[in-house]
Chains A and B, each alone.
Chain A
Amino acid sequence: MLVITCIKQVPDTTQVKVDPVTGTLIREGVPFIMNPFDAHALEESLRLKDKYRLRVAVISMGPPNTEITLKKALAVGADEAVLLSDRVFGGADTLATSQVLAEAIKKLAQKEEVAMVICGKQTIDGDTAQVGPGIATRLGYSQLTLVDHIENVDLQAKKLKVRRKLEHRHEIVEAPLPAMISVVREINHPRYPTVPMRLMAADATVTLWDNKVMTLDEETIGLKGSATQVRKIFSPERAKGEIIGDGAKDPNEAAQLLINKLLEKNLI
């Protein structure tokens, strides 16, 4: 049986800057990383693999260089990696993205029964948290978001019990398999790859599925299949605020400046 982990390669957002003129992200020279939430999704899949002897497949839709990120997944123990990459997949919003991913999962399910699809809660670039639920809806899987603990998996009875982390409370939910769960960071600590596994992964092949393989209707994917379109990306203007001194140099001086300012504004 298969656990499928959806992984997105994202730019290392701490290093991303927005082009002030065009309002678009400057992606040049910015390194790509595995979406941090997806690293936790992968780790959870690997733990299920260790515990229930499942196989782990990772899938990602993205440009060809996403292969590097998928190899990192192989290096920590994923058994199989599929990259969905084609020009016609490009420009997808969450609707079109989940369409391609769901179709790929269907394709994998033809060969081997799928127990679970595990996604990250959200990405650090798109931030929508819609793709996981989109996949679950399209496939008719149980949908369990914001999971911070898997209580139990019963493969015989095809049941799953998880704990969801909500604001100010936890919720324990039982649901039938197959299920899509999306995980939060608290669920686990991702493992570190061993060197033999890194060397193995470096030579491993990542299966490439383009649209010749997927044969999806071009109207439902990519830019054309997207219900939304980006008009403009911009950093919101800073409405208020003022930089005082350049206090970072000396903490004592900085503290004094701050106190003066607060006194001046009658705040303390």
Chain B
Amino acid sequence: MSPNIIAYAIVFIASMAFFSWSCYRRFRLVTLGVSENRFNKIGKRIWNMLLYAFGQRRVVSRPFGVNHFVLFWCFLILMLANTEFLFNGLFPDYISLSRLPIGANYVLSFIFDIISLLALLAVCVAITRRLAFPPSYIEARSRDAFIILGMVGTLMIAFFGLQGSEIAQGTQEAARYMPVSSFVSSIFMSNASSQALDWLSTFFWWIHAITLLAFLNYLPYSKHMHIMTSIPNCFFKSLEKVTTQPREEFKKGNAFGVGQVDQFTWKGLFDSYSCTECGRCSDVCPATSTGKLLNPRLVMHDIKTNLLKNGPLITNNKKRKSLPLIGDDHEGSIAEEVIWSCTTCSACMEVCPVFIEHVPRIVDLRRHLVEMKAKFPEELLAFFENMEQRSNPWGIAPGDRAKWASEIDAKPFEAGETEYLFYVGCAGAFDARSRRVSVAIATILNAAGVSWGILGKDELCCGDSLRRLGNEFVFENMAKENVKMFTEKGIKKIITECPHCYSTLKNDYRQYGIELEVIHHAELINNLFKDGKLKLNGVIDLSNVAFHDSCYLGRYNMIYEAPRQVITSATGQAPTEMEHHHDNSFCCGAGGGRMWMEESTGKRINVARTEEALKLNSDTICVCCPYCMTMFEDGLKDKDADDRVQVLDLAEIVAKAIK
């Protein structure tokens, strides 16, 4: 069947022109972002793209992801068929499957026929799922989703209609190799007159062409823009796990953080174009699920909307921005409360199928608020000042740092003599509960004959919360002081009590030119057991220990098994797992500086997590982090369960077991 070439040429050229113009308008805006190199190590990037975009590695980790996988691949294969279709309409004599060697035509026709059926089925599954078992996030039933599914469905039906009528007309050479189309033809078209068949094939041809071109033109304006952006986004994905934020250059005249959309890097903007609106991030976000204003998917969406609105104004050099990026009550795209609600738990980044980097974006916004506007929840003022003046969150006199060690034999770190620095951390040094954990760790180190020392009153805070809260300026000063001290004292190997110190010293300080061998006590204890340096004095009687994965140990640094193995060794039983565990763990609510802030909206995150732990009927919750310790103990008090359930640090369990 050949359409009226003139009519089609007009439609085709108009559509393609409009599509190109749309793409140009949208993608030009990405170039407004700050430069950033995402073109290094091309080989690794291509591999990531193959694995995560074409292999859909993360997409298929959820059951319905398989359906997406099918649709994605159908789409790719049919792209060939559709390209042929679009150009065949213009140059029927030159571009056509039938011009291929006969075998190739048959093979391709067979593949397209089967794949089209598969695509149609996948569309039906998707529609049924959205109607009958919608996922928890509401957008599953968005108009956008149904329009797109409807278009893909229509396209497939038009394909079979067209092929069917051509088969009935006897003009389809490959008819024998097109079982589905032949079936359609035999059922619906076998009795049609040749006139009716003519009409039918013209009708389906135009439906196919118009749907295809409409689909193409709809893409840049819908969430399905991700069809164009998610594959490159997997190519541009961070090559390392995103555990830190980039440094800032503190020079006069610079702006700090992001207060206006073009201050994001281009990749930050591209991320917002790549969101598939799958809702997985909001599904796992502890803030979203406890009723906070923050929803990581919406943060991406709001960045995109802001870019689309302000981008053209910025390009035209108009200073006036019609919509502020940050602002409450719909006066800006992202409310301040949203920005402060994030615990930087990284659950969102762990699940995002297209590797969108939410946490660095949120920290960018915090940086702007803290560093450019000095605007933050008021309880942070004392925290910031205490950090700057006394290098600890509570503002306790630094001279008291070594008090925890008053009753044990803790020696100062001596370069050349001591192997490990035990970096106790602020909680381990000042918080009454965590000081007992510090003692437990010291006991274990002594029992295993590890050579260790402390910095005592010279120890400074690592600055973790400052950095996550966007106070990069003060963090930078603290980091530099620490790096200077570590270098001067010849410190290379560090044991930490707190996962936040661990991640900061290990990952963040690398940006300051120091490679430290940092080990968290969970890993160290596990090694000591493995090497036979730590001997148990019979296993202790702790039945049913529930283990909580800290975000900065688990998701940030992929330490999942060491603490579990230690629990198994010490108690003779593997720990029980909560509903959320390992990389799907649920934050205690204290990360990202949330430890120092009020939590007044929605349910308290620590209570939600404590409830999950209580479901296991354990008598002990095991943690590896001083923040988690506080959050669970508070949660248990809130649930009136502190008399029947105890929270112990891993080190305390082990210290009991070696006594």
Contact = CB atoms under 8 A, between A and B. Distances in A.
A195 B389 contact: no
Nearest to A199: B252
Nearest to A33: B389
Interface stretch (A123-131, A145-153, A185-193, A236-244): A185-193
A267 interface: no
Contacts of B250: 195, 199
A215 interface: no
Nearest to A248: B432
Contact of A192 (B374, B390, B395): B374
A192 B256 contact: no
A103 interface: no
A258 interface: no
Contacts of A249: 407
Interface size class of B (residues with CB under 8 A): 20 to 34
A12 interface: yes
Contacts, number: 42
A245 interface: no
A15 B371 contact: no
A188 to B, nearest CB: 12
Q: Determine the main DSSP class of B at the interface with A.
A: helix
A189 B378 contact: yes
Interface string B377-407: 0100100110001100001011100000001
B372 interface: yes
A15 B398 contact: yes
Nearest to B433: A251
Interface string A83-122: 0000000000000000000000000000000000000000
Interface in A25-78: 31, 33
Q: Determine the main DSSP class of A at the interface with B.
A: helix
Nearest to B378: A189
A200 B252 contact: yes
B373 A194 contact: yes
A266 interface: no
Contact of A15 (B252, B256, B372, B399): B399
A193 B256 CA distance: 13
A12 B389 contact: yes
Interface string A179-212: 0000000000111111110111001000000000
Contact of A194 (B254, B374, B390, B395): B374
B473 interface: yes
A14 interface: yes
Interface residues of A, number: 20
Interface in B222-261: 250-252, 254, 256
Given A12-B389, A31-B389, A195 B381 contact: no
Contacts of A196: 252, 254, 256, 372
B397 A14 contact: yes
Nearest to A194: B374
A33 B385 CA distance: 11
B399 A194 contact: no
Task: Find the residue from A15, A189, A200 having the highest chain B CB count within 10 A.
Answer: A15
Task: Find the residue from A203, A248, A249, A251 having the highest chain B CB count within 10 A.
Answer: A249
A12 B385 CA distance: 13
A12 B407 CA distance: 28
A194 B252 contact: no
A195 B432 contact: no
B381 A15 contact: no
B384 A192 contact: yes
Given A189-B381, A199-B251, A194 B372 contact: yes
Contacts of B373: 194
B490 to A, nearest CB: 23
Interface in B345-375: 370-374
B252 A203 contact: yes
B160 to A, nearest CB: 63
A191 B374 CA distance: 8
A73 B407 CA distance: 43
Contacts of B390: 12
16 contacts: A12-B389, A12-B390, A15-B397, A31-B389, A33-B389, A189-B378, A191-B374, A192-B376, A192-B381, A192-B385, A194-B371, A195-B473, A196-B372, A199-B250, A200-B252, A251-B432
Interface of B: 250-252, 254, 256, 370-374, 376, 378, 381, 384-385, 389-390, 395, 397-399, 407, 432, 473
User: When A and B form their complex, which 5 residue pairs have the shortest distance between CB atoms, in order from nearest?
Assistant: A195-B371, A192-B374, A195-B473, A15-B397, A194-B374
Given A194-B371, A194-B373, A196-B372, 9 more contacts: A14-B395, A15-B397, A33-B389, A190-B381, A192-B374, A193-B374, A194-B374, A195-B372, A203-B252
